[in-house]
Structures are given as structure tokens and as C-alpha cells.
Amino acid sequence: MDNHVTTWNKFFSQIQNEDFCDKLNEFLNREYNNHECYPPRELMFNAFRLTPLDKVKVVIIGQDPYHERGQAMGLSFSVPSGINVPPSLVNIYKEIAKEYECPMNYQSGDLTYLAEQGVLLINAILSVRAKQPLSHNIAEYKMFLARVLEVLNRQHRPIVFLLWGGFARKLKSYLHNPTHLVLESVHPSPLAANRGGWFGNDHFKKTNEYLKSHHLKEIKWSNM
């Protein structure tokens, strides 16, 4: 496991010798050696590098990385600059633009600007085989995510969890700290969003209202 990820160091050092981590490493070595997998292995823990544990204000949980070449960069919903913005992220941008009546750059899907403000953008599954969604949906990742959520749940300071879609909403059972805010909605994917429940959820404004009420700096959601 990567163990040089800012203030997540203690967390990673605590779990690195556990059985599930050994099995996960073996699985990843085998997969990356024998198949084309994403993101590049050095970017798997990108979210933890860019958003130190003591800086986390908001948590957004995706399911698994994009499975086309060049898309996955270790941040949920994010793609590198120069890559076409995926439909779910387009809908995220549209909701931000609606809530704040602000311009958005729909040509860039790089969400590093959010990660650097304290938005932890993690996927429940950190890797995937090329063109095979959910191909790395293994028990060891479930254990890893549970540990991540447990350590976040123990942080006694205001944190907002944005749970989008049925998969993410099931994770609410890990979150019971009264100092945290949990907001739920349908997934921003076109299939779910067009049925209703995504547009107009006001999650981005509600997040900032919560942060402001606790005297914390608000997130600048616009990428302009």
C-alpha cells in the first residue's frame, strides 16, 4: 500500500500489515502485471495525497474509476485536462452553475481544484481493468473503504458527506457522528438525473451553508 500520503500516514501505517491489505496488494500486482488497468498505479491514492485527512471538509464517493484509457486519475468523477468531460460530471457542473448562477468550464473535467480545497474525491473501488467496469469489485476494497469511512467518522469536526446514488447511500450506515452532515440524492448520471432528484438538490449550497455556520471557509465550486 502507498504510505506517503500526507496526514493519512497514520491510517495507512495502521492497516498496511493487515491480511486484507496483503491480499489487495497481491491482487493489484497480478492485475497490473497481466492486464491494462486504470488509473496508473501511482495515481491510485491521488485523493489521499491531494486532500490530507486534517483538511477534509467534504467527502464525495464514487463507485469505481473510469475504464477508458486516459480518463482515471485517482479522483472520483474527475478526468485529466484534455479529456472529454463525462456525462455525470457535466450534470455536476450544471447543478453547480444553477445553484450559484456561475459560469463553468465544461471543457475541463479536472477536479484537482476541489481536492485542494478539502473535498475528498474517493472511489469505493480504486482500480479497474480497461473497458471492464466493476472488474475489481473485490472484498478487500470493501474492507479498505470501511476503514476509510471509520476514520472519517471519528473526526470530531464538521465534515459534509455527499452520497449520490444507491451505492453511495448504502454507506450511510458507517456515518453517525453528530458533528457531520450527510446529504443524499440520486446519482448525477444522465439515466438517474433525468428521472428527477438530481437537479435542484442544492447540495453544493447546502454544503457551504453548513461550513459557513461552523466558521469554516466555503468551497469555491466553480472551476472558472
Nearest to 159 by CA among 13, 63, 61, 15: 61
Nearest to 14 by CA among 150, 141, 115, 160: 150
Could you give phi then psi for residue 162, rounded to 5 degrees?
-105, 110
Residues 2, 19, 54, 64: which is the catalytic one?
64
Calpha distance 160→182 (Å, rounded)? 6
Query: Is 110 known to be catalytic?
Result: no
Task: Tally the residues of the chain.
Answer: 224
Give the CA radius of gyration of the chain. 17
- 14: Cα within 13 Å, side-chain hemisphere: 10
Calpha distance 88→154 (Å, rounded)? 30
Q: Which residues are catalytic?
A: 64
